[in-house]
Amino acid sequence: MTKILKPEEIKQRFGQYFCRGIYTLVDEKNGVAQIIEECCAKGPVEWDAVNRKRAQGVLTKISVEGNTLIMDAIIGERELKFGAASKDLGGQGLKAVKIDGDKVRTTWVGLAGASVGIGVCMPQGPGTICAEYPDDIKIGGAHQIEVTVVTPKLVRVLIGVDDTDTREKGATWASVLKIARASTIGHFLEHKIIQLNPEAPEKTTNCTSSAVSFAVPEKDVEALIQYFVDSVRKETLSDHTVVAAFVGLKVPDPLVKYGWEAKSILYKVDSAYRVAKQNGVHIIEITGKGGAIGAVSAIGCFDLGLKAAGLPEDFEN
């Protein structure tokens, strides 16, 4: 039999633990998911990352940013490989990711002390709808537990913006970050500043564009984009402002290539519209077309880490 507990019931039973948020993003077209788990401390995040990587299962990539654990996974189910961990180290891993209507069911297995993280901490974090346990719940010590955590199905929205400022006033990166932080739609994830070709003749000063990412229910995607369009329109000081939007966890390779090359090639505006149309990017002209290159490139470079903020020569050695 299965016992279903809501976050508040888990807190009442085991006490308050440390998860600050759990968000499950899916990209059904590409068969992948991303689980973002926010903690109040870095130690548990690093330990969980190593243990989950060791166990493999459906996880394909794990990274740690501050107190946040970012896990890429396939949608499906795979066996876990605890190996010697089951005897000497404990362990935990992600066994399955399954979509259930507007919800996602992630199934975790924990051994010994590692069972506390997936059995008590994560299921009571903000973002959890409920957790499904075996009828006889035993967590910690020498016990093993399998828990299914149910969360809302979310998608990732990337929004790129360029050319909101002038040589005399404004900064696109600051305007975009301010707008993102003020949003009441979805969960704001990341903000990026994208360095573009400094030889661009129509640049203001630094020649950068900016982009942000959000986790939102599918039904709220259009509302989020419209919020950004309306907010940028109020903020912009330029006659060439453009917003670009993309939904998904995997940025297409041609779009990444375009963004990277925009750091050294002086593209024409028409190229941005062509690449956007071919790769699922929606361009919205706010006051003109000039910002299209930067807005589209910001989406292309979004997942490049430090490379997004630099130029090719910064990474030659």
**148 and 10 both lie in a single domain:** yes
Structural domain for 118, as ranges? 2-153
How do strand 19-27 and strand 144-162 relate by DSSP bridges?
parallel
Does any domain span residue 222? Answer: yes
Q: What is the CATH number of the domain that holds 169?
A: 3.30.70.2200
**289 and 232 both lie in a single domain:** yes
**20 and 38 both lie in a single domain:** yes
Using an 8 Å Cβ cutoff, are 285 and 261 in contact?
A: no
Cα 54 from Cα 141, distance rounded (Å): 20
Does any domain span residue 158? Answer: no
Does any domain span residue 300? Answer: yes
DSSP 122: G
Does any domain span residue 244? Answer: yes
pLDDT at residue 88 in the model: 52
Domain ends where: 153, 179, 205? 153
| Residue 88: CB atoms within 10 Å | 9
**250 and 275 both lie in a single domain:** yes
pLDDT at residue 136 in the model: 79
**10 and 63 both lie in a single domain:** yes
Summarize pLDDT for 175-192 with one digit per residue, the tens.
999 999 999 999 999 999
Helix (H, G, I), strand (E, B) or coil at 288: coil
* Residues across the chain: 317
pLDDT at residue 92 in the model: 87
Q: How far is CA 126 from CA 6, 37, 208, 220, in A?
A: 11, 10, 35, 19
Domain ends where: 124, 153, 182? 153
**115 and 256 both lie in a single domain:** no
**221 and 267 both lie in a single domain:** yes
Per residue of the chain (317 residues), what is the pLDDT tens digit?
789 999 999 999 999 999 999 999 999 999 999 999 999 999 999 999 998 998 989 999 999 999 999 999 999 999 998 765 444 555 789 999 999 999 999 999 988 666 788 888 999 999 999 999 988 777 765 667 889 999 999 999 999 999 997 566 668 999 999 999 999 999 999 999 999 988 876 655 568 999 999 999 999 999 999 999 999 999 999 999 999 999 999 999 999 999 999 999 999 999 999 999 999 999 999 999 999 999 999 999 999 999 999 998 998 86
Q: Which amino acid is at 194?
A: I
Does any domain span residue 194? Answer: yes
Cα 122 from Cα 22, distance rounded (Å): 7
Q: How far is CA 314 from CA 97, 140, 144, 264, 301, in A?
A: 38, 48, 48, 12, 15
pLDDT at residue 165 in the model: 74
**218 and 132 both lie in a single domain:** no
The number of CA neighbours under 13 Å toward the Cβ of 310 is 9
Q: What is the pTM of this model?
A: 0.93
Position of tokens 């010590």?
141
**17 and 81 both lie in a single domain:** yes
**172 and 36 both lie in a single domain:** no
**143 and 170 both lie in a single domain:** no
Summarize pLDDT for 141-178 with one digit per residue, the tens.
566 788 999 999 999 999 999 999 756 666 899 999 99
| Residue 76: CB atoms within 10 Å | 12
pLDDT at residue 171 in the model: 86
Domain count, the chain: 2
pLDDT at residue 83 in the model: 64
| Residue 126: CB atoms within 10 Å | 12
pLDDT at residue 307 in the model: 96
The number of CA neighbours under 13 Å toward the Cβ of 172 is 32
Pair of tokens at residue 270: 């028409």
Q: Which amino acid is at 234?
A: K
**146 and 168 both lie in a single domain:** no
Domain ends where: 91, 122, 153? 153
